[in-house]
Structure 1
Amino acid sequence: MHCTLVADLAALVSQHGPAILCGRDTIPSHAIAQYWSASSNRFELWHQTLARYRRAQQSGETIRLKAWWTEHVTVLEEVLVTEMLTRVVAALAAGLDKKYGIEELSPVTHAVHLNHLEARNRVQQIMLFGRGNSVQDAVRLNRLRQGVERWTDTLIGCLASQHPELARYGMNQDRTRQHAEEYRSSGIGIAQRTTHWLMNSAMNDMLRRRTSKTTALPQANRNVAASVVMMLRPDLFDSVGALKSLWLHRLQSSTHQADRVLEELKQPDIEKAVTADGMDSTSGNFLDRWYC
């Protein structure tokens, strides 16, 4: 699985993030466990690759250093690009934990985020102080880093549009907040979907132009992506397999609440009417059937 496809998944999750946060259920625990396991395995493979560079550098052999760059430059690209998904998942989990008042998901996803930050810092050190690479590779990797940072802020801005506190997962928080404000004013329905299509197309084009055609760890990327897909519960999809919009989730949530009230009205015992103590429920003759 190429890293650009991982970025496409990050865009999908971020753009449907507000709808996921509006849902009634949280992320399944087995999906989080799988995400931790897949991410840890990929981190181990990355660290092994970066350790080979250190050994090549210590040897002082120019040929060995150039060979490392030829074989493993795609790993550096993947570390930079796949951080987009790591940050989006961490922001989504933090939003869900805050919604339900628990700390069940965010400790795991934030730990993955911190591990990815460590790998990214090591990659940036190699980009800045490394030996054996060509000027062309150095320039291309730096341009890739800049593009990834900007698009990461755009994706986090989609989540921060409804939950401003999630802007902390952006690369540049001020820029992330600006994207959040723009996203709130982008409209709904067709206008918003068109915006998403254009954004995704532009992001994908940038990544494909600045990354290699080959992939370093396709199976590791696939495992991480599969664990993220497991986080998308079946109720998030409609009958044709497309993710539901935020508007539809809100409509279904309101319908669910109305159905619950109607079911409680059928109960012969007020103790079973859990919403009867609400302020709105006490108006009119809502309680007459139990007290009259």
Structure 2
Amino acid sequence: MKLAYLTEVAAIMAAHSQLFIEQTDEISSEAVGDYYVLSRNRFNRWMRDLNDLEHGLPISDPLHLVGHIVGRPATRAITEQILINEMISRIWTVLLLARDVNNGIDRIRPVARNIHLGHLAVRHKALGVVLADDRMSPGDLLAIDQLRKSCERWTDLLCCSIMGQYNLWEFAFDKDRGREFLRDRVDQAGLSHRSRSWVLILAGLRHSFQDTDGLSAPVHDDDRRLVRLMLNSFPEHAPEMTFWMGSRVREARQC
């Protein structure tokens, strides 16, 4: 599974958010535990890599750069991983908290918030290393800045209806922008998989995050397992969700 495909997974989860949020049964303790452990392992991996890069050292485990473009700074590759994964991680956090609110419980919030704060810390660290690394060319810096802005805007667009319905605006990158996205929506409801808006959004997302250049790199095993956990938390064999899943996303659910 390529890094770019994670954005499509994020969009599909957001478009079918009510299928997840309105489930009355609780997420299993095993799934919550796996979510925490995999996220913690990923956090530790990224922090080790960023600490190495911050001190001018090569990344200790070269497997973390499988698919890395030869000659490109490792800092750029790691930061691309972090920014793309933050998009799906933030949407998943919003879905988890919305489900707690919908069911009138406070079960997953502590874990979800803890993982969210960890991702904020690693994002801050990565952007700091990007600015300090003299191996980053002006072109590399521009590419990272453009990717960051794209991820932030798309996340706010995909999540705006959920954040509005469940008052989760604190998870927007830009609250004012998120509210503006929601106001611009005709029905101000969640994305419908049958709507023209959803078709255009999915097409726009695929155009913005093409599986070329750095985004063609394969995802790490932890990321792949997290995606599988997320997708498998939705109702099995939901026809409205299956309809939009391309082969690359279906593989992620089964791998």
Q: TM-score range by the shorter chain?
A: 0.7 to 0.9
- Report 1 or 2 for greater relative contact order, CA contacts < 8 Å, sequence distance ≥ 6: 2
**Counterpart mapping for 1:275-286 below 5 A:** none
Whether 1:167 and 2:133 are equivalent positions in the alignment is no
Deviation at 1:204, TM superposition (A): 2.1
Which range moves more in the overlay, 130-139 or 15-24?
Answer: 15-24
Residue of structure 1 in register with 2:157 after alignment: 154
Residue of structure 2 in register with 1:123 after alignment: 126
Deviation at 1:28, TM superposition (A): 2.8
Residue of structure 1 in register with 2:238 after alignment: 237
Where does structure 2 lack aligned partners over 5 or more consecutive residues?
58-69, 245-255
**Counterpart mapping for 1:108-257 below 5 A:** 108-163=111-166, 165-183=167-185, 185=187, 193-208=195-210, 212-215=214-217, 217-234=219-236, 237-238=238-239, 241-242=242-243
Residues 7-35 of structure 1 show CA distances to partners (whole Å, capped at 9, x for unaligned) of 11111111111343233334333222222
TM-score, reference length from structure 1: 0.70
- Contact 1:140 1:210 (8 Å CA) reproduced: no
Q: How far apart, CA to CA, are the structure 2 residues paired with 1:166 and 1:184?
A: 20
Deviation at 1:102, TM superposition (A): 1.9
Whether 1:5 and 2:5 are equivalent positions in the alignment is yes
Q: How far apart, CA to CA, are the structure 2 residues paired with 1:126 and 1:91?
A: 28
Residue of structure 2 in register with 1:40 after alignment: 40
Which range moves more in the overlay, 165-174 or 125-134?
Answer: 125-134
RMSD of equivalent CA atoms: 2.9
Whether 1:93 and 2:93 are equivalent positions in the alignment is no
Deviation at 1:213, TM superposition (A): 4.5
Change (3 A) 1:10 1:188: closer
Give the % identical residues.
21
Deviation at 1:108, TM superposition (A): 1.2
Residues 159-206 of structure 1 show CA distances to partners (whole Å, capped at 9, x for unaligned) of 23533x022211001111222233352789989532112112212211
Secondary structure of 1:231's aligned partner: coil
Secondary structure of 2:125's aligned partner: helix
Change (3 A) 1:47 1:182: same
Deviation at 1:216, TM superposition (A): 6.1
Secondary structure of 2:55's aligned partner: helix
Change (3 A) 1:211 1:82: farther
How many residues are paired up?
Answer: 233
Letter in 1 for 2:202: N
Letter in 1 for 2:128: Q
Letter in 2 for 1:5: Y
Q: How far apart, CA to CA, are the structure 1 residues paired with 2:55 and 2:222?
A: 24
TM-score, reference length from structure 2: 0.80
Residues 186-238 of structure 1 show CA distances to partners (whole Å, capped at 9, x for unaligned) of 7899895321121122122112278514426432221111111232133x714
Residue of structure 2 in register with 1:82 after alignment: 85
Deviation at 1:73, TM superposition (A): 2.2
Where does structure 1 lack aligned partners over 5 or more consecutive residues?
58-66, 244-292
